[in-house]
Amino acid sequence: MINQSTIEKILDTADIAEVVGEYVNLKRRGVNLIGNCPFHDEKTPSFVVSPTKGIFKCFGCGKAGNSVGFVMEQNRMSYPEALRWLAEKYQIEIIEEKYEQNEILKQKSDREALLAAYLFASKYFKDNLENSEEGKLIAKSYLAERGIRDDSMVKFELGYCKKGWTDFYDYAIKNGYNPEILENAGLIKQKEKKNETEKDEYFDIYRERIIFPIHDITGRIIAFGARILKKDDKISKYINSPENEVYHKSKVLYGMFQAKKAIREKDFCLLTEGYLDVITLSQNGIENVVASAGTALTHDQVKLISRFTENITMLYDGDKAGINAALKGTDIILENNLNVKIVILPDGEDPDSYCKKTGGAEFENYIQKNETDFIIFKTNFLLKEGQGDPIKKANAIREIVESIAKIPDPIKRSVFIKQTASMLDTDEQILHTECNRIRYKDDEKNFKRANIELENLIDNQETDTEKLYNSDEEREKSVIRSLILYGNLPLQDELLVVKFILEEIEADNLEFLNEVFSKVISETKTFYEANGYIDEYFFKNNMITTQIASDVIIDSQKHLLSPRWLSDAEINVKSETDNYRKEVVNNINYLKFAHLNRLLKANAEKIKITENEEELTELLEIQKNILDVKAKLASIHGIIVH
């Protein structure tokens, strides 16, 4: 377990702008930074980072937090994993409090167990490649023949699985790994039993194969690809890890972890199909390259690229399969509002083989000379297919316009339509009409779907006004807001807001129905009683409070006017902070009203069902007392009771 002083050092050192900037293209807007949210789809940026406060918030999906919270959400990590990730990034030594090994293993989730299994297996496979006689003689010599250098083997963590049926299995079991986890990870498989009395037996799946570890964006190994060394038509050339809690092949690109920095620096990404394409180009100085690795390009993969650049160049083989793959891929890229160019390699060549022939510099020259935008590429291919046939030409034009219609940006659509009309000697207005028809058809489907969702929402939800007055959660949130923004300010004399709120909650036994808010109060009470104060740092960096604190702090900055603007305009405007005392008291009183309303409701239910006359008289007296307290509270504070 990481000790508290290490955690505080990590929190103090982590730069929120730098951490988020690894995944999101941020642009400065005043004192804050803004970009497209990595947690949901959006075309208009609503994701705000406050470097001075060390927090982020998305005004689209509502997610908020500090650096640790961002890493947890983005990389699907636990709190300790995120802390370790940041410690490694900022080269902070982790000091741990001692726990028994079996206690740590007990606490591991299936996800953590899978990641541990992949890391263990990777080390084993790498050791086989580097140090075993079989690995050096068979696997390493094969890679050398394919032109893969030692430094590339290290960079991409290549490995080898020996040909023995249970070599890896035996080693893993000896080191305490659970066969069930290893099987879920796709590393071993159970032999079929001839009868129920036979004991469980397993064998290695990747026997006699080169191992290509697949990393997530943070560099953790989440899967393997494995290539056979000898020709055998009965066996698949490549096999991959199965999908599980940590690996979803449609969301991963091979080489992205190694390439992300170069992609951002060069502001474009080369997209290939295979592991060796990535490795060969990378070792020849072309590092901004990734591969879909055996899967057709997906929306999630394109979104992953879009975190680092808006420009993609697709490298495909010149055969018909390569061209068709390029055609399908362009539409997905366009739909995500990215720019796409296509490079078709000479016949019989793939990026791996052609780069070996030409070298890195000449390969880059080839790309620059031969890359075409999708309009020219699609036009040339489709017209070639239907040469001399007017019907086929009309269909080709329609297909091109269907691709253009997928582009969200109207200016880009207009430019491409003009280009298409010029190339195909077609009336531009006709193409605009067809494009609008296609988009209208799609929009109509989306509109109908949205309408149904809106009707359901109206049927099932209160209006904003009703919610403001009737939602206990809104009242609870207002108190939490007061605590976070004004907790360490004086309410009167030496009475701090935090002390006032905690004392009022305890004195009146006020209950928070929202579980998160209840935990915030509990954490605040513990910290305040131990330290005698509360501050923004505590709220931003406590695991329980960070989400709500970031949300509240950034929300509070949204409507602030620049002091210089106010000064220049000679305007005297009171800020929220100037009026905080009244707000704090009102928020507590509204919470008390909510509490009294719940008491009234519960008491009224008892009145309905009681058949005892003496009990009824007592309950009616209680009801009257609660109503009196409520009226008195309203009278003192001038609050309208709803």
Residue 157 CA to residue 214 CA, distance in Å, equals 9
Helix, strand and coil percent figures for the chain, each rounded to 5: 60, 10, 30
Long-range contact pairs involving 600-607 (C-beta distance under 8 Å, separation at least 24): 600/626, 600/627, 600/630
Residue 51 CA to residue 42 CA, distance in Å, equals 22
Residue 579 CA to residue 187 CA, distance in Å, equals 63
Q: What is the pLDDT of residue 457?
A: 37
User: CB within 8 A of 447, min separation 6: which ones?
Assistant: none
- % of residues, the chain, pLDDT over 90: 36
Domain shared by 358 and 403, yes or no: no
Residue that finishes a domain, picked among 79, 103, 127: 103
Residue 472 CA to residue 256 CA, distance in Å, equals 46
pLDDT tens sequence across 10-67: 988 999 999 999 888 888 887 889 999 998 888 788 899 988 888 898 888 888 889 9
Residue 69 structural domain? 4-103
Residue 600, token pair as written in the block: 């009234």
Domain shared by 133 and 91, yes or no: no
Domain shared by 528 and 628, yes or no: yes
Q: What is the pLDDT of residue 513?
A: 86
Q: What is the pLDDT of residue 120?
A: 96
Residue type, 502: L
Backbone angles phi, psi at 443, to 5 degrees: -65, -35
pLDDT tens sequence across 496-553: 999 999 998 988 888 888 888 888 999 899 888 888 888 887 888 777 887 787 777 7
Domain shared by 485 and 424, yes or no: no
Domain shared by 522 and 626, yes or no: yes
Listed in sequence order, the DSSP H helices in 14-132 are: 16-21, 67-75, 79-89, 101-107, 110-131
Q: Which of 579, 581, 603, 599 lies closest to 591 in space, CA to CA? A: 599
Domain shared by 536 and 409, yes or no: no
pLDDT tens sequence across 68-95: 999 988 887 878 888 988 998 899 988 8
Domain shared by 198 and 93, yes or no: no
Domain shared by 561 and 487, yes or no: yes
Domain shared by 437 and 491, yes or no: no
Residue 187 CA to residue 343 CA, distance in Å, equals 37
Domain shared by 498 and 596, yes or no: yes
Look up tokens 């609503």; give the residue. 46
Q: What is the pLDDT of residue 20?
A: 93
The number of folded domains in the chain is 5
Domain shared by 95 and 166, yes or no: no
Residue that finishes a domain, picked among 187, 214, 247: 247
Residue 107 CA to residue 96 CA, distance in Å, equals 16
pTM of the model: 0.63
Q: Is residue 642 part of a domain?
A: no
Q: Is the CB of residue 253 less than 8 Å from the CB of residue 301?
A: yes
The CATH code of the domain that includes 50 is 3.90.580.10
Domain shared by 384 and 423, yes or no: yes
